Every structure is written in structure tokens, then in C-alpha cells.
Amino acid sequence: MDWLLQQLINGLALGSIYALIALGYTMVYGVLRFINFAHADVLMLGAYAAYFLAPAVGGIFPLPSFTGTLIILLLSAMICAGIGILIEILAYRPLRHRPRLTVLITAIGVSLLIEFTCQHKAVFGADTKPFPQLLPEHDFNLGGLVISSNDLVVVVTTLLLLGIMWFIVQRTKMGTAMRAVSFNQQAAALMGININRIISFTFGLGSALAAVAGILYAMKAPGIDPLMGVQPGLRAFIAAVLGGIGSLPGAALGGLLLGLLETFAGGISGLSNYRDGIAFAILILILLFKPAGLLGKATIEKV
Amino acid sequence: MSQPLLKLDHATIRFGGLTAVSKFSLEVQPCELIGLIGPNGAGKTTAFNMITGVYQPTEGHIHLNGKSIAGVKPHALTREGIARTFQNIRLFGSLSVLDNVRAAMQLHCKHGVRAALWRGANFRKLEGDVESRAIELLEIFKLGDLKDEEAKSLPYGDQRKLEIVRALATRPKLLLLDEPAAGMNPTEKEELMHLIRFIKDKFQIAVMLVEHDMTVVMGICERIAVLEYGIKIAEGTPEQIQRDPKVIAAYLGTETEKEEPADA
Amino acid sequence: MSSTLNPSSTVGAKRWLIAGIALAVVVSMFSAQFNRYHLGIIIDIGINIILAVSLNLINGHTGQFSLGHAGFMAVGGYTAAKISLVASPLLPPALQPVIFLFALLAGGGLAALTGLGVGVPSLRLRGDYLAIVTLGFGEIIRVIVQNMESVGAASGLKGIPKFTTLGWTFSLAAVTIYFVTALVNSTYGRGFIAVSDDEVAASSMGINPVRYKVTAFVTGAFFAGIAGGLYAHHKQFLSPTGFDFLKSIDIVVMVILGGMGRTAGVVVAAIVLTLLPEVLRQFSEYRMIIYSLLIIVLMMARPQGLFTWNRKKGGAA
């Protein structure tokens, strides 16, 4: 029983991070209908931004502290939002009306470019760097259960951001415009919506979330390296598909489910070696049996 | 009368809350030339999509030669004798004109992977036959000279004609033409009417066409069915249809007979 | 892709195949004259040609975006390597080529079976979804191999006999090119391109899209498996990391660079992209950066491929 609860807590923490990343995939897919492979690398850049910001911010607000962490999170999110917007303008915008495959391959190219550039010794280098401690850490013991403060922070931050996202998308003018663009780009443009602005906003928002997710992920991970985004990125993508790509609640649900499944599978000896494969096996099963995902809508192709 | 070639029996299809076609019943006899008309969005193309297996009816039945086509995939229905053209032209753009027709002929082509790899004398003979048959079909529509052109580079009118040739290449018993005259000038339309009648007689096939051009529809169809808001509001000879008050109302929008639009 | 099928030009294709194999065997006899390093690269080229041409059947002609070619290569490579490792010491030297041939065919066969298993359920999916499923499949293969002690798990499979020669490689490359070209250049084969151009229209013309896609997938997987077998007996060492996502991307880039659906262009691209890293050896630290930039620039400037030429000639299909 304890074991189950413990896995549940670990799974929720991991799943929260996946959910944050998945939101970025799903939003971009919603407006542009393509998988932004570089999203995983923006996450990595977020972690590196925090890594480099930590000493500077720490000079004013000594770390570990909540204020310092908050400032680092905000700054990294802003930096990554800028990077995300830039990637879209430079690499994806010129291909807006090209076949989706062309864009997909370009996205893979952008992802590889970021990874290989960052691995170069003049940039970050390929080695793993220890991530600074941002927050005071404390393990809460609840009768056999161990809840780390980091896990709590991860879950709370995610819930908070999910709430904010929901508000932006459902209750603001920008969000309405985003939904309009994702529904029908041409019609939205005819209604006077500035498509480019909405797409930039979407990339910015998604990338900011990725930055936060990257930092949270780094806090739990042993260290950071230029390829750190790849695995969580793939998982989050699967989560987005699991929930129904294009659906925000779906991304959150998919992230949590995947985090839980993976943690439970990882906790079972014999299955743990196959952890990497399990996520993909789940993905394939979903696509085969419910291609629209858990909360997605099935679409009918017009003939 | 003999068994109908195609029989729609209360065929209904819903997309979410929208009933696109409602309780559509219709019989098509072999070698008949039948028109399906109606205002935009009346469900004509949707009806075609049900007949060709692209969509499955939510309710009702469709029978081809007395056999239900429920669950039969489009490619299998083509084998059973249904061929079609598309309203928004869907040629194989990167293939040549000849190869568009050839691709449609693979259905009746006896050889497959092994013959293609072995390339024996038999294969070459078969390929020769396929080619001459394809050219023969293209000649009917005066496209023979264009056989090596890329399909997507053809003028619009020729693309429409090529779609018909391609459909004929599958040797259908029922040919569905979705707005074959769209975008054609009066001379081309005249020529098209002549061609449709010609192929119907030559190949002994039934032709069902969706068309907005009334000159074409009234000029060649033996029988016409009218859809409005997914419901069949009239069926009869061109003369009967032209006089039908419901049809006139549907097209001119007068208020006689204006019932609540079905579910729309 | 637009080539018109011309039976008279394809009649002689079998002669070209035989000539190709003969040439490969003859050149192979002189391979002792080559410098070992050069010979190695030439064999790499041949293997990459097989990989690229077979992927071209799936991605180019049939228009199905697969990112899992390295996975099929791994299945073929490991299968073939394991067979020769077990069988080679048991049999006399004269029978070694027979073992090799059997190992290659078994590797290709198992890869094809895997292709069938992956393809049948997943080829219903379109575009980027299929890309992700095939990517996932490649990863699953890698994870499985990493955990299989019988093939060396994460530390790799060592001591594979060096069976791969120039003759074997280029004969099989010739067979692959012939196979794909002959298949596509027939009335039957026009169906692949029809499916790629417009699946809905294709099915309305009596073409069974699933069948064509699966055929392309299985055929592509078979040759990827063969390429894997050649690779295993060339490098004499296999490690799961050699068949990762990046390897699949490599092959995809060859197909794109060569021009989707254009075999001749794809062959040229396979040659150029195998040589490129060697030429860039002194810039090795920038190699992958240049490579990824190349993908992006290519997609923007020439998505139809670099090595595509006037389609009037048409023979490239």
C-alpha cells in the first residue's frame, strides 16, 4: 500500500512535468498542425538559462530561496519565449503553406541544430553539468511515505500554470483568437485576426511553459546536458497524443497518466529496463485504438 | 422492371448534430442516365460519398446489384463496378496523363509484384495491352496527344475529362460524375454532353451526375432527383422536374412549401 | 515521380541488373588493390544506397513518412550477425558464403516480418502520426536489443565474421535498385504513386491503399534488413546506439536530398552524404551542426531535392 502511494506521488510529480511540456506541443499543433520537434530543446535551453542565471540572481537573492527561484523561473521563461518566437519566425514561418512533411523535417532539423550547437565546446559542451540547488529542500515523512518538497513544488506549480493557461485560452481575447486560428486559419484571418501575432504568442507561451518544465525537471534530475530535453520531450509528445493532440485538458491528463504509468512500470522489477519502450508502446496502442486521443475530437476528412 | 443496379433505401448520414442526407431513397437502373440536383449544400456530394463507400450511412441501406454495400471499402466497391469523378478534381498530379489511366487499370490487370519484377514476355504483352487500351480511352476524349503531359499541368477542362477517362478505365457499371461541367465554357459543355451520352451507350453503363448547369442536366438526363437540405423533394423526368413547384421553390427561394429545414 | 512508364525502356532493365552484379563482382576481385580506408567507405556507400533506395519506396514513391528505417536495419543486422556467429564456426570455409547469404536473407526476412507487424496496424495513420509511430517503433527495437543478453545487450555484439565484400554489397545494391525500379515501373506499380498523390482518389479507382502501403513498407523493411546484415559483417561490431533515431534521419535526408521518389537522385544523394563526413573530417566538431543546417536550408530552398533534374527524360522513377 505504501509502495503504491509512494509511486503515486512520484508519478504525479513526473506527470506534472510531462503535462507542462505537452501543453506546448498541443498548442502549437492546435494552431499550426505540426509537431514542433524543437520544443524539447527549448526545454533544455530553459534549464541552461536557469543554470547561468542562478549565480547572478543568487548574488541579490541568495539561493536557495523562493524569491530567487521565482525570479529565475520568470527570466528563463521570458528568454525561452523569445527563443520560441524566433524559431517560428526564422524556420517555420517561411514554410507556412508548404506540405506538412516539409515542415516536420525542418522541425527535426531545427531540433538537431540546437542540440549539436549546444553540444559544441564553445557553447555548453556535451558534458553533464550539476544543476544548482534553487529551493530549500525538505523531505516530509508521512508515516512511511516520503514526499520531497521539490515534488510538491512541481505539482503546485503545474496546477497553477494549468489554471493560468485555462484562463488565457478560455477567458481572454488572445485566447479566443488562438481558438479561432486553430479552428480555421483562413476564416480567422478574414475576421481581422493577425495570424502571425497569434502564432508568435502561441509559440511564446508554449516555450515559456517548456522553460519552467525544464527547470523543474532539472531540479529532480542529477544534472543537465544538451540532450536532456529529448527523453522528456518525446514522453510529453506522447502525452499530448494520449490526451488528444490539440486539446489542453487532454495534454494535462495525458501527461499525468503517462507519468503515473511510467513510474509504476519502472517500479516493477523486470519492467524497469523497458521503461523507455513502454511510453512508445502506449503511444502506438493509443494511435491504433483511439487515434483522436482520450479527449480529442475525431475529424472527418472532407472529400 | 429488372433488378435495379443501385438502390438507396432511406439512406441517412449524420455528422454530429447535422443530418447531411436524410432518408434518401432512389433506384438507378442499368444503362440509365440520371441526374442529382439541388442547391449548394443539399447533400449531393455526400450522397455520392455514401454510394462510393467513402462515408458509411448512419441509417438505411444501399444495395448494388441486390447486395448490401455496408462496410465495403471504396476500392472494393470500384471492383464491384462503381467509379466516380470528384467535384474538386483529384487526379494523380505527379503522374502523366497516360499513367493516371494506367493506375486505374491495375484493378483489371492480371499481373502483380512477381510479373513486374520478372518482366517476362507475358508481362510486356500485358503492359502493351494496357497501354493501347488506355490510349483508346483517352482518344475518345481527345486527350491522346496529351498522354505524356503531367496531369496537373493540363487545362481545367481537360483535367475534368481526364477524371472521367480514369473512372472509365476501372470498367464501371455505374459512373458517378460530380459536377463534370464545372468551369467549362458552352462549347466544352456541349461536347461533354455528347461524350457522356456516347460513353453511356458505348460501354452500356449507368451514369449518375451531380450538376449545377441546368442545360446539361435537362439536356441529357432521362430522370432527375432533387435534394434540398438532405431530403429528396422531387423525382421525375426533366419536364416533370421543371414544372414541380417544390423544385422551383427550392431554387428560387419562394415561400410556398417552406418547411422547417431538416435538422440543419 | 512524373515519369511516364515506358515499357520499351524497362525491357532491358534485367540486362542492367545482370551487368550491375557482374561489374560489382569483377571490381570486387581487385579490391585487394584498394586502400583499406577507401574500401571501407565504398562499402559504406553501397550499404547506404540500399537503405536510401529502399526507404525511397516507402517515403518517396508511396508517400508514407517513416522514421523507423534504422529499426528495420537493426533487426536485420542483429539477426544476420547472430546466425553467422553461431553457424560460421560449425561449417567448413567453402560453405561460408552460403551462411552469409542465408544470414542476410534471414535478417531481411525478419525485418520484413517486423515491417508487416508494424505496418498493418499503423499505416492507417497519416503524415506526422505515422512518422511518430515509426520513430517509436525504432526506439522500442533499440530498448529491446539493449536488454537482450544473447546479442550483447548494451555493450554490443562483437566478433562478427567479416563476410561483407565489395561484390556482395554492390550486387545487393543493384538488386535493390532493380527491385524498386521494376516494381514501380509497371501498371501495378503506378498504384504506389497514385496512393502517394491522392489516397482518396486512389481508393476510388480500385486501388487498395492499405495493401500498397504495406507492400511498400514490407519491401522497404526487407532491404533495410539486408543492409543491416551487410553492415554487421562489414563493421564486425553492432551496438544498439548505432541504430538510433539519428541513423533513421540520415537515411531520410538522403531520400529528401535525392528527391522523393527519384531513385537515381537518391543514389547520388547516398553517395554524396556518405562522402561528406569524410570530406569534412577536419571540421568534425562542426560536422553535425553543418548537417542540421543543411536539412533546414534544403527544406526552405529546394524541398523537391537537390539531385532532381529535368523530368522530360523521366527515367528516374
Contacts 24+ apart (CB under 8 A), C29-37: C29/C167, C31/C165, C31/C166, C31/C167
For A107, name the nearest residue in chain C, comparing CA atoms only. Answer: C296
Phi, psi torsion values for A54, nearest 5 degrees? -50, -50
From A279, which residue of chain C is nearest by alpha-carbon distance? C136
How far apart CA B201 and CA C199 sit, in angstroms, is 31
Indicate if the alpha-carbon torsion angle C206, C207, C209, C210 is positive or negative: positive
- B53-77 average pLDDT score: 94
Q: Has residue B49 got a pLDDT over 70?
A: yes
Return the residue of B nearest to A300 by Cα: B15
Question: Residue C289 is nearest to which of A100, A117, A274, comparing CB atoms?
Answer: A117
**Closest residue, chain A, to B86 (C-alpha):** A303
Disruptive mutation site among C203, C205, C312 for chain B (greatest number of B CBs within 10 Å): C205
Mutate to test the interface with C, among B45, B50, B77, B94 (most CBs of C within 10 A): B94
- Cβ contacts (< 8 Å) between C122 and chain A: which residues? 284, 287-288
Is residue A257 within 8 Å of residue A251, measured between CB atoms?
A: no
- Nearest Cα residue to B176 out of B211, B136, B201: B211
How is residue B203 written as a grid cell? 460501354
The dihedrals phi and psi of B6, each to the nearest 5 degrees, come to -130, 135
What distance in Å separates the CA atoms of residue C125 and residue C123, rounded to the nearest whole number?
5
pLDDT at B238 over 80: yes
Where helices occur in chain B by DSSP H, the ranges are 44-51, 74-80, 97-105, 113-118, 121-140, 156-168, 186-203, 214-220, 238-243, 245-252
Band of the pLDDT at B258, cuts 50, 70, 90? very low
What residues of A are in the B interface, CB distance below 8 Å?
300, 303
ipTM of model: 0.88
| Residue at grid coordinates 537518391 | C266
pLDDT-derived band at C12, boundaries 50, 70, 90: low
Residues of B in contact with A300 (CB under 8 A): 15, 55
Task: Inform me whether the pLDDT recorded for B44 exceeds 90.
Answer: yes
Cell 455496408, residue located: B70
The predicted model gives C131-156 an average pLDDT of 87
What is the percentage of chain C residues whose pLDDT exceeds 90? 55
Out of C65, C125, C288, closest to residue A116 by CB: C288
- Select from A98, A120, A234 the Cβ nearest to the Cβ of C285: A120
Q: Which parts of chain A sit beneath pLDDT 70?
A: 1, 269, 298-303
Mutate one of A297, A300, A303 to test the B interface: name it (highest B CB count within 10 A): A303
What does the pLDDT read at residue A142?
80
A-chain CB neighbours of B49 within 8 Å are 303
CB-based contact B202:B165 (threshold 8 Å): no
Q: Tens digit of pLDDT for each residue in C257-290?
A: 888 888 999 999 999 999 988 888 888 788 889 8
Q: Report the distance separating Cα B205 and Cα B112, nearest Å.
A: 28
**Residue C199's closest chain A neighbor by CA?**
A303
In one letter, which amino acid is A294? L
Question: Is C236 in the B-facing interface, judged by CB distances under 8 Å?
Answer: no
For residue A303, the chain B residues in CB contact (below 8 A) are 45, 49, 54-55, 86
- Does pLDDT of B26 surpass 70? yes
Give the residue carrying C-alpha cell 508519478.
Answer: A11
All structural domains of chain A with their residue ranges: 2-125+142-238
pLDDT for position B261: 47
In chain B, pLDDT over 70 holds for what percent of residues?
Answer: 95
- Give one word for B94, left, alpha or beta, with left for phi > 0 and alpha for psi -120 to 50: alpha
Q: Is residue C182 part of a domain?
A: yes
Sheet with B6-15: strands ordered across = B18-28, B6-15, B59-64, B67-68
**CB B86 to CB A300 under 8 A?**
no
In 10 A of CB B220, how many CB atoms?
19
Parent domain of C80: 2-245
Identity (one letter) of the amino acid at A69?
T
Encoded amino acid at B146, one letter: L
**Residue C78 within any structural domain of the chain:** yes
Which residues in A have their CB inside 8 Å of a CB on C? 34-35, 91, 94-95, 98-106, 108-110, 112-113, 115-117, 120-121, 234, 237-238, 241, 273-274, 276-277, 280-281, 283-284, 287-288, 291, 301, 303
Question: What value does the mean pLDDT take over residues B1-18?
Answer: 88
Domain-located, residue C163: yes
Closest Cα in chain C, distance from residue B119 (Å): 7
For C203, the closest of B73, B131, B169 (CB atoms) is B73
Total-model pTM: 0.88
Residue C306 reports pLDDT greater than 80 = no
CA distance A297 to chain B (A): 11
Highest mean pLDDT out of A278-287, B56-65, C17-26, C256-265 = B56-65
The model's pLDDT over A236-272, given as tens digits with 9 standing for 90+, comes to 988 998 888 888 889 999 999 999 988 888 777 677 7
* Percent of chain C whose pLDDT exceeds 70: 92
Nearest one of C102, A230, C121, B117 to A238, comparing CA atoms: A230
Q: Pairing state of beta strands B206-210 and B174-178?
A: parallel
- pLDDT of amino acid C2: 39
Indicate whether B22 pLDDT > 90.
Answer: yes
- Strand locations in chain C (E): none
pLDDT of residue C308: 64
Q: What is the pLDDT of residue C3?
A: 44
Cβ distance of B113 and C188 shorter than 8 Å: yes
Q: How do residues C231-254 score in pLDDT, each as one tens digit?
A: 999 999 999 988 988 899 899 989
Q: Mutate which of C143, C147, C203, C245 to disrupt the A interface (most A C-beta within 10 Å)?
A: C143
Please count the CA atoms within 13 angstroms of the CA of C291 that sit on its side-chain side: 29
The CA distance from C11 to the nearest CA of chain A, in Å, is: 35
Question: Distance of CA B236 to CAs B239, B240, B248, Å?
Answer: 8, 6, 14
* Residue C114 maps to a domain: yes
Q: Give the residue on B whose Cα is nearest the Cα of C10.
A: B119
What's the confidence (pLDDT) of residue A131? Answer: 94
- The answer to whether C167 and B86 are in contact (CB under 8 A) is no
Burial string for A195-220 (b: 16+ CB within 10 Å, else e) reads beebbbbbbbbbbbbbbbbbbbbbbb
Q: How far apart are the first and last CA of chain C?
A: 5
- Measured distance CA(A98)–CA(A109) in Å, rounded: 16
Amino acid A298: pLDDT = 65
CB contact under 8 A, A303 and B15: no
| Contact residues on chain C for A303, CB-CB shorter than 8 A | 200
| C143 → closest Cβ in A91, A95, A274 | A274
**Contacting subunits of C (3+ beta carbon pairs below 8 A):** A, B
Residue B14's DSSP bridge partners are B19
Question: How many C-beta atoms surround the C-beta of residue B238 within 10 A?
Answer: 17
**C contact test, residue of A280, A285, A303 with most C CBs within 10 A:** A280
pLDDT at C314: 36
Query: Residues in chain A, how many?
Result: 303
pLDDT of residue B263: 43
| Residue C314 is assigned to a structural domain of this protein | no
Q: Are A303 and B54 a contacting pair at CB < 8 A?
A: yes
Q: Within an 8 Å CB–CB cutoff, is residue B175 touching chain C?
A: no
Residue A211 identity: A
C11: in domain: yes
- Please, which chains are in contact with B (at least 3 CB pairs closer than 8 A)? A, C
Interatomic CA distance for residues B142 and B202, integer angstroms: 16
pLDDT digits (tens, 9 = 90+) for B168-199: 999 999 999 999 998 888 999 999 999 999 99
Asked if the C-beta of B92 comes within 8 angstroms of chain C's C-beta atoms, the answer is: yes
Cis amide leading into B4 (omega within 30): no
What does the pLDDT look like over B104-147, one tens digit per residue? 998 887 777 888 888 888 888 888 999 999 999 999 999 999 99
Domain assignment present for residue C164? The answer is yes
> What is the number of structural domains in chain C?
1
Domain membership flag for residue C99: yes
Determine the average pLDDT of the residues in B82-99: 94
All three cell numbers of A51, joined, read 543554470
Do B92 and C193 lie within an 8 Å CB cutoff? Answer: yes
Best C58, C59, C140 member to test A by mutation, with max A CBs in 10 Å, is: C140
**What pLDDT shows up at residue B64?**
95
A-chain residue closest to B48, CA distance: A303
Question: Hey, is B7 helix, strand or coil?
Answer: strand
Residue B28: predicted pLDDT = 95
Beta bridge partners of B21: B13
Whether residue B170 lies within 8 A of chain C, CB to CB, comes out as yes
Q: What is the pLDDT of residues C55-86, one digit of tens each?
A: 999 999 998 989 899 999 999 999 999 999 99
Q: For residue C97, give the C-alpha cell.
A: 558464403
